[in-house]
């Protein structure tokens, strides 16, 4: 399938290919939208990154017609032998068997009904979804099995599935996020040329909220020097449209994304380009990107701290990110345990080893804003995130206690951890050689 497009072919060199085609100026052929069939035998992608709050994702499409200059998924197209530039936007791979593969995955005895996030890589509601309807059919499978779902999109097309999402929400956990990184339409149009307009995205938030669905926004990515000044207006309008939450994510430029982004910025913002790149380096300790876990989505330095402070102030002003009561609904075996959101948890979630001691800390599931704060505070103390949270646990155990009984309180806390472990072994039928159990743990001094 091919469709004519006005965009010229423009790709950075593919590091996985031994050759690179470069056209002479003036004779660059136009890119053509091409759709390829993917015959993959699996649809669930496992995520092992500690920076993200989910383990499993579904991506019915590879490549994305939205053409966002900053898209971190661009390098994944190079694995297919395509380019990360115009190829990513016009050579789209479609997984036509996605619904059937998802059903087969849910039927496996090993599947435990964990949260599945759509658009972990590319937008599941990009324009091709209007005719292929792969995302809708996958959501129907999730409804059939009562499996919890999370969706991230910048497309108005999500409103097509409002009734389906309402049925899902009545049965299980549903989390919806609309990505709105800009408030100015003209800026958004050159950075996200084929995505829905900002007005339509806010309208999508309003429609989802009026349907009673839990919807939030992602100000992602924040591009220092370009859109950080839009934050107050974005949060104000999001609240007016019924959004319940908002989260910031700093721009990251892995691999070939860096070249695509710089090229777009220099072409569309010639007078601002130098300032924008300077600001990015300022919050990245002199670099344009940081690939390290726990640091990829956050910045450092006074400028980034000011952005975080502005985001926090306006989030509080408009009542975003506050806990809301969960409506009553029939219990579902696939529904995940509800997690509370705190401005800064002393240690909400701990990882317990088979010996019953705190072996590590798992911050997956804590809101992104809170994880960023944890990482920032840990860095200030020159501690790892694990060490910092263990220290906070000890502070909880020691708090309001006499020095003479601190050791006894600590022993009591660890005895409680062992009891939790044994309880979970019984509840989930696990063996003693199980390596990891996730468990909410708070207020150990009261146990």
The DSSP string of 196-226 is PPHHHHHHHHHHHHHTT--EEEEEEEE-TTT
What tens digit of pLDDT does each residue of 333-349 get?
Answer: 443 333 333 333 333 33
| Beta-carbon count within 10 A of 291 CB | 11
Stronger pLDDT, 161 or 2, i.e. the higher one: 161
H helix or E strand, kind and range, residue 170: helix 162-171
In this model, does residue 14 exceed pLDDT 60?
A: yes
With respect to residue 195, please indicate whether it lies within any of the assigned structural domains.
Answer: no
With respect to residue 249, please indicate whether it lies within any of the assigned structural domains.
Answer: no
Strand partners, 360: 351
With respect to residue 373, please indicate whether it lies within any of the assigned structural domains.
Answer: yes
If you average pLDDT over residues 386-404, what whole number do you get? 61
189 burial (CB, 10 Å; 0-12 / 13-18 / 19+) is middle
| 3 state SS of 326 | coil
- The reported pLDDT for the residue numbered 402 is 52
Strand pairing category for 215-222 and 349-352: unpaired
With respect to residue 152, please indicate whether it lies within any of the assigned structural domains.
Answer: no
Long-range contacts of 128-133 (CB under 8 A, 24+ apart): 128/35, 128/61, 128/65, 128/92, 128/94, 129/60, 129/61, 129/155, 129/157, 130/157, 132/60, 132/94, 132/96
If you average pLDDT over residues 232-243, what whole number do you get? 97
- The reported pLDDT for the residue numbered 291 is 83
Stronger pLDDT, 350 or 98, i.e. the higher one: 98
In this model, does residue 51 exceed pLDDT 80?
A: no
- The reported pLDDT for the residue numbered 100 is 96
Burial 247-273 (b: 16+ CB within 10 A, else e): bbbbbbbebbbbbbbbebbeebbeeeb
Q: Which of the four pLDDT bands, split at 50, 70 and 90, describes residue 387?
A: low
**How far apart are the C-alpha atoms of 16 and 319, rounded to whole Å?**
47
**How far apart are the C-alpha atoms of 185 and 192, rounded to whole Å?**
10
Q: Which of the four pLDDT bands, split at 50, 70 and 90, describes residue 276?
A: very high
Q: With 0.75 as the threshold, say if the pTM is over it.
A: no
Domain count, the chain: 2
- The reported pLDDT for the residue numbered 398 is 56
Query: Could you tell me the two tokens for 204?
Result: 């999508």
86: left (phi over 0), alpha (psi -120 to 50) or beta: alpha
**How far apart are the C-alpha atoms of 370 and 174, rounded to whole Å?**
21
In this model, does residue 399 exceed pLDDT 60?
A: no
- The reported pLDDT for the residue numbered 406 is 63
Q: Which of the four pLDDT bands, split at 50, 70 and 90, describes residue 371?
A: low
In this model, does residue 407 exceed pLDDT 70?
A: no
- The reported pLDDT for the residue numbered 8 is 82
Share of the chain above pLDDT 90, in %: 56
With respect to residue 391, please indicate whether it lies within any of the assigned structural domains.
Answer: yes
With respect to residue 16, please indicate whether it lies within any of the assigned structural domains.
Answer: yes
Strand partners, 246: 217
In this model, does residue 436 exceed pLDDT 70?
A: no
As a whole number, the mean pLDDT across the chain is 80
Query: Could you tell me the two tokens for 163?
Result: 């009734």
In this model, does residue 37 exceed pLDDT 60?
A: yes
Q: Of 209, 293, 201, 298, which Cα lies nearest the Cα of 249?
A: 298
Stronger pLDDT, 234 or 55, i.e. the higher one: 234
What tens digit of pLDDT does each residue of 105-119 get?
Answer: 999 999 999 999 998
Per the CB < 8 A criterion, the answer to whether 87 and 77 are in contact is yes
In this predicted structure, which of 63-72, 112-121, 147-156, 365-374 has the lowest mean pLDDT?
365-374
Q: Of 147, 47, 55, which Cα lies nearest the Cα of 438?
A: 55
Long-range contacts of 310-316 (CB under 8 A, 24+ apart): 310/228, 310/231, 310/232, 311/219, 311/231, 311/235, 311/246, 311/248, 311/369, 312/369, 314/231, 314/232, 314/235, 314/236, 315/235, 315/246, 315/369
- The reported pLDDT for the residue numbered 297 is 81
With respect to residue 420, please indicate whether it lies within any of the assigned structural domains.
Answer: yes
| Beta-carbon count within 10 A of 130 CB | 12
Identify the domain containing residue 24 by its residue range: 1-37+61-94
If you average pLDDT over residues 251-256, what whole number do you get? 92
| 3 state SS of 179 | strand
What tens digit of pLDDT does each residue of 242-253 get?
Answer: 999 999 999 999
- Which of 94, 112, 137 is where one domain is finished? 94
With respect to residue 279, please indicate whether it lies within any of the assigned structural domains.
Answer: no
- The reported pLDDT for the residue numbered 378 is 72
- The reported pLDDT for the residue numbered 239 is 96
- The reported pLDDT for the residue numbered 341 is 37
């Amino acid at each position: 399938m091919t469709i004519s497009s006005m965009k010229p072919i423009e790709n950075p060199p593919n590091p996985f290919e031994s050759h690179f085609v470069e056209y002479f100026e003036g004779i660059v052929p136009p890119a053509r939208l091409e759709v390829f069939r993917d015959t993959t035998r699996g649809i669930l992608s496992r995520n092992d990154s500690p920076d993200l709050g989910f383990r499993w994702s579904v991506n019915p499409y590879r490549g994305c017609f939205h053409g966002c200059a900053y898209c971190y998924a661009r390098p994944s197209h190079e694995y297919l032998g395509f380019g990360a530039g115009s190829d990513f936007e016009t050579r789209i791979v479609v997984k036509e068997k996605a619904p059937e593969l998802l059903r087969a995955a849910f039927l496996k005895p090993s599947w435990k009904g964990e949260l599945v996030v759509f658009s972990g890589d590319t937008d599941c509601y990009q324009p091709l979804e209007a005719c292929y309807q792969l995302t809708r059919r996958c959501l129907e499978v999730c409804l059939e099995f009562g499996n919890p779902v999370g969706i991230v999109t910048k497309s108005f097309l999500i409103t097509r599935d409002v009734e389906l999402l309402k049925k899902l929400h009545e049965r299980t956990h549903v989390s919806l996020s609309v990505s709105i990184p800009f408030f100015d339409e003209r800026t958004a149009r050159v950075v996200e040329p084929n995505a829905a307009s900002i007005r339509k995205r806010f309208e999508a938030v309003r429609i989802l909220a009026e349907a009673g669905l839990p919807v939030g926004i992602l100000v992602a990515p924040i591009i220092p020097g370009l859109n950080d000044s839009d934050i107050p207006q974005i949060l104000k309008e999001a609240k007016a449209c019924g959004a319940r939450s908002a989260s910031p994510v700093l721009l990251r430029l892995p691999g070939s994304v860096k070249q695509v982004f710089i090229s777009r910025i220099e072409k569309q913002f010639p007078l601002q380009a130098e300032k924008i790149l300077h600001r990015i380096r300022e919050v990245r300790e002199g670099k344009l990107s940081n690939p390290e876990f726990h640091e990829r989505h956050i910045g450092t330095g006074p400028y980034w701290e000011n952005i975080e402070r502005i985001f926090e102030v306006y989030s509080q002003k408009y009542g975003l990110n506050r806990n809301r009561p969960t409506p009553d609904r029939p219990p579902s075996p696939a529904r995940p345990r509800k997690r509370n959101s705190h401005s800064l948890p002393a240690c909400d979630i701990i990882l317990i080893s088979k010996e019953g001691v705190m072996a590590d800390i798992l911050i997956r599931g804590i809101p992104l804003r809170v994880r960023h704060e944890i990482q920032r505070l840990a860095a200030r103390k020159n501690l790892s995130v694990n060490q910092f949270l263990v220290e906070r646990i000890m502070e909880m155990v020691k708090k309001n206690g006499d020095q003479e009984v601190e050791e006894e309180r600590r022993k009591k806390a660890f005895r409680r951890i062992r009891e939790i472990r044994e309880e979970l072994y019984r509840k989930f039928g696990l063996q003693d050689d199980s390596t990891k159990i996730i468990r909410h743990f708070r207020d150990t001094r009261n146990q």
